[in-house]
Structure 1
């Protein structure tokens, strides 16, 4: 029996708890060089790949940029690139705006651009925003139109450009961030810079001993290893492989302090972003830099069991076939026995694509995998493999592949042309974009359509989770009741998203419905449930439920602590302080948020409101004066300041 009273104490009560460790040890990382003798072909493929060169030392072998006293000027700041005594240096504006010279501390990437890392404080690496265009052999700024100066959270010295927190885990092997929030310092480590063998297969100590059969392999010493003494088992099937790749190839919130152990289920290590505005177009096409996983989950290819390695060599990171040959491995008259539902037809033919053979318009990827440039010149392909729908452009504003090439023509022209080519197409029916587009502006007026998407169990789970994410903005008992069944959906992303839709229910109902999720098999679901319990007032819970809540809260707290250097995490902590009525904690967290990112106006506003609510109007005014100084173009802050005038 569970009754309403007060349970916010649980967040504080378990703040220092430690989760139980898995039984057994974890093998040590031994480095990619130890793999080469036995895995020679894979090593040859890997050497020189984007994976191997994801992070390299700043030496003459790896630095491609012009450091021969080259200069680049933007926004009145001249950056210089020089070489001295065999070392590379960058002179530019530092954290306080003064011109400073730093040695290059690391190199990120190989093509189409190369970025350089600077150690601005001991152990703290920042990714520099003036980067080298490898093809055109020129320096350029990643964000030339943003007018970024020192003190801006998005400046290269700011928290969003911190390599330790934002980038390193996907450019290294066995990475641990090791951020100390008290000292505000990093002591990051990794077994290897670059994406080595063990980044995907897991630490190799036990595997080496098993393979050499030298008598040192003891299976009882380790926990959770597969038949070949590795933590990741790629023979487990397409889903296991996809989730392993997705750890880096997705837009997500990490739970751990660095690399999760390879083989960790995706939803135990990350919370995947749904198709939110600003990240994706309303039809699910890529907009911001969202990488691959969120797109691929929308595709029929994913639903049919296609794996990453069906198209990509995982060691060289190259395609397994060239041009349209990549697609005609399956999409042809011959088909592919692994996918018996494929229609057998000649797709690489003008009768299908209606363009001259060999032209850009005849390339499968240009119609079914739109390309968008990120970091200025880095083209990325949408992996949802969608049929072009220019008719949806007319209705929702989402782009379409036809007008990507024919920019001088209208979406209506493209719609009419496609309709003439395919008069009986089954691909012009209802689409989630027709619900998501208006729901983004007014979810309350789209409830019926959103629930219809959630209840359509044949739709990809990421679409259904996105509908639940939008429904969470509408607090309503009827919605909570209607979506309750999806708390037990087979997909963890749907279950986690369904948690938020329960906010409209009575607190007793919320507790009763969510308690079983506190020991859900997936960590992302357990933590979603724990977040909702924080705001509930509960007088009594059974012992097993209390233990489950303590465990889920501890997991969530550890996840938050692992991201204490994120301004957005400090916003969460500030919200927790408000929920638990701990105003000093809320002020501290919101204060840390604006210290990290002075442009977080909502944090400034919360600080001012808390001071005003506590009767300290003078401090509220002082806060708003500082906020206006940091954000002189914001129009809301002066209005709030005027309301607090003497």
Structure 2
């Protein structure tokens, strides 16, 4: 077991990636010597780094660092007027604050240099906030990061609140050795850092020991292993860069150089709304999640092969970037790419690395390096670069041209199996299982396949899924643990999950603990109780690390529910609503918990608030209606379910329960009417058909009851319940 105690001078030596590292102590700021100290021995690297995006990631606000004029400019967007000005050498914005009124806010820091620059102000509670209005440093104009998105001042997404909070959303990757120091009871920060920007030591680790060793040994100095990212293999290098260049969740309270990416974070898997169904970027993924999908990554290519690791710049701006590895005579020819040489269309990256604009004007490329697949566009609606460039053409044209030029696409990419599973197509479950089991595919794709199996919960073969807990990939193991937890079978199969508490990766261990948290400690074998308690501390630190997010509070509340502490879960969710008062995912969970502990008035008030804030969301009316019925208020329940089916007419479950409510309250005709409408929408829903047959039988319409029972038997001819019901009906007098 490796420990890390900051008071010792030899804490920060490189450790083996397989070593279990549980300690979460932070590194003292005094262990960081600053980039100018690095320059003394590494002038060439410093020269490359100076002026880079890392160097300028964050700066104190002054006339040299601020690119925008701040000379009285007025910018209006979504009903908010912002005025930017300077006064007595300081820079200010007058804009809408947390109370919905305009105030003057002093700019303390700048964020970035190109293609945009953001500006940061400080609130009295230690919250540093990034303005929603940014400055386009290429077009020299102010613009709204979310021009089509109205945000009111009470929302979490308002610039003065959580969505644009520097302490939690930005600081960890824009400064060196950040410690958030978040006080969750009072929701305030005392954040500090060793160095303002992304310094040499942000990547290489604290330099104090290294400098002392060099001074002591002089010309006899030999690498002592105290510095990170030196002489590591390609995957370890990508792993280290991923700390900031990945969309991920925090696993530990403080990041330190010890351990691997998965000891501190867990990456976002390929899911809808963040990625396209085939794995192409949709929302921001910060490169890592797409790069580890690629053949490049799996063949030893790392960030430094294309980028200067100190300046961040590309090594080449033309196809020489790719012909470092790929034979020029084969690929950098018109014969291959079918475009005029010397044009932008002939650049490899424009066919194999399409991109999207994020934050309004920041163009970022997809690093999965894939072959264009217009056939997948036709099947699944995913984008392809052909019609992305030829905007006047359709996907069918792109497919026909592709076949004409290159032949039928080979269906050997993981997307051929992932996309149908994510989108719920016929055979989707089997497709996901095949992908998850086949180790020739990238581990992030296999893990995403496991994760997507939750969409087929009723069809899953649990023993086959549990086999993935033995997989060599920590991503696959972690995704499997999450799935087992979501399916609520961790308690039944807890002995198969227990070994994961000893996994080398902290991300896997804390997920295993969360899945097992509903298992009584008395059922934990003696030889696991020690490690169980150790991982419990790691899990507690993860909850602390995510406490300023409503999602983090919800996870804590779920943990309390698992261990039977419903009132603690309620308290936690109530705190979450103070962070984001209009988060109705939290409020819905809270309403259910209020009902469970018989606080019916609070439950009803929660549902009413959700309906007021999000009118037209039928599931709320549905859940509220079910609760009203259980409280003995059927007429009010019917009204809510009527609204629910109006908003969600294709929801069979709502129709079923509304029909049942009608029937139980002597409104048989209404029950039959709603069922008839719904059965016409879904002719194979046996629950609806059975209820229709049952009601007709109860009102002595035997022939109609038999008609619908025959329909059931056509769908499921060997169902004993349907057979018996038909026999009963057949025995009755007509």
Give TM-score, length-normalised by structure 1.
0.89
Relative to its length, the structure with more helix (as a share) is 2
What's the CA shift for 1:641? 5.3
Match of 2:353 among 343, 354, 369: 369
> How far apart in 2 are the matches of 1:39 and 1:558?
37
Q: Distance in 2 between matches of 1:78 and 1:232?
A: 47
Task: Please list the CA deviations of residues 246-295 of structure 1 after superposition, one character each: whole Å capped at 9, or x if unmatched.
Answer: 1110110012334x223530110101111011111111100000111111
Could you tell me whether the CA contact under 8 Å between 1:126 and 1:163 is conserved in 2?
A: yes
User: Is 1:199–1:262's contact at 8 Å kept on the other side of the alignment?
Assistant: no
* 2:57/2:112 contact within 8 Å kept: yes
> Which segments of 5 or more consecutive residues in structure 2 lack a partner in the other structure?
1-20, 637-734
Q: What's 1:173 paired with?
A: 176
- The question of 1:139 aligning with 2:135 is answered no
Structure 2 equivalent of residue 243 of structure 1: 239
Q: Counterpart in 2 of 1:385?
A: 369
More displaced 10-residue stretch of structure 1: 27-36 or 104-113:
27-36
The residue aligned with 2:120 is 117
- Post-superposition Cα deviations, 1:449-505, rounded to whole Å, max 9, x if no partner, equal 111001111101011000110124444696331133322222211111122344569
Alignment match, 1:264: 259
Larger deviation, residues 117-126 vs 308-317:
117-126
Alpha-carbon distance change, 444 to 610 in structure 1, aligned in 2, over 3 angstroms: farther
Q: Confirm whether residue 598 of structure 1 aligns to residue 581 of structure 2.
A: yes
Do residues 330 (structure 1) and 325 (structure 2) align? yes
Cα distance in 2, alignment partners of residues 63 and 430 from structure 1: 50
Query: Deviation at 1:231?
Result: 4.1
Question: Does the residue aligned with 1:213 lie in a helix, a strand or coil?
Answer: helix
Judge conservation of contact 1:58–1:104 (CA < 8 Å) in 2.
yes
How far residue 510 of structure 1 moved from its aligned partner, in angstroms, is: 1.8
Matches within 5 A, 1:534-613: 534-537=517-520, 539-613=522-596
Distance change >3 Å, CA 22–CA 87, structure 1 → 2: closer
Residues 1:99 and 1:560: Cα distance change in structure 2 (over 3 Å): same
- Residue 393 of structure 2 corresponds to which residue in structure 1? 409
Q: 1:297 aligns with which of 278, 283, 292?
A: 292
> Does residue 44 of the first structure (1) align with residue 47 of the second (2)?
yes
Q: Is the 8 A contact 1:210 1:229 kept in 2?
A: no
Q: 1:419 to 1:478 in 2, by over 3 A?
A: closer
For the aligned residues, what is the CA RMSD? Answer: 2.6
Is 1:307–2:302 an aligned residue pair? yes
Shift in Å, 1:70: 0.6
Question: Contact 2:108–2:120 at 8 Å: present in 1 too?
Answer: yes
1:428 alignment partner, one of 385, 405, 410: 410
User: d(CA) in 1 for partners of 2:561 and 2:172?
Assistant: 32
TM-score normalised over the length of structure 2: 0.78
Tell me the number of residue pairs that the alignment of Structure 1 and Structure 2 aligns: 607
Q: Sort the Cα spacing of 1:117 and 1:506 in 2 relative to 1 into closer, same or farther, 3 A.
A: closer
SS in 2 for 1:116: strand
Q: Distance in 1 between matches of 2:77 and 2:605?
A: 34
Specify the alignment match of 2:479 in structure 1.
497
Moved more, 517-526 or 501-510: 501-510
Q: Is the 8 A contact 1:71 1:80 kept in 2?
A: yes
Contact 1:443 1:474 in 2 (8 A): no
Q: CA offsets, 1:50-84, max 9 Å, x none?
A: 00101111111110012001110112211010100
- Tell me: CA distance 1:22–1:112, structure 2 relative to 1, closer, same or farther (3 Å): closer
Structure exhibiting the larger radius of gyration computed from Cα positions: 2
Distance 1:406 1:541 in 2: 61
Aligned pair in 2 of structure 1 residues 508, 96: CA closer, same or farther (>3 Å)? closer
Aligned to 1:227: 223
User: How has the CA–CA distance of structure 1 residues 414 and 232 changed in structure 2, closer, same or farther, with 3 Å as cutoff?
Assistant: same
Q: Is the 8 A contact 1:71 1:78 kept in 2?
A: yes
The match for 2:90 among 87, 91, 101 is 87
Matches of 2:265 and 2:288, distance apart in 1 = 12
**SS of 1:92 mapped into structure 2:** strand
Q: Which runs of 4+ in 1 moved over 6 A?
A: 21-27
Shift of 1:106: 1.0
Query: Whose RCO is larger (CA < 8 A, sep 6+)?
Result: 1
Query: Is 2:147 the partner of 1:152?
Result: no
Structure 1: state its 5+ residue gaps.
1-17, 220-225, 334-344
Alignment partners' CA distance in 2, 1:281 and 1:613: 38
Deviation at residue 635 of structure 1 after TM alignment: 5.2
Deviations 1:508-553 (A, max 9, x none): 7622211111011111111121111012346433322111211222
Tell me the distance in 2 between the aligned counterparts of 1:386 and 1:544: 47
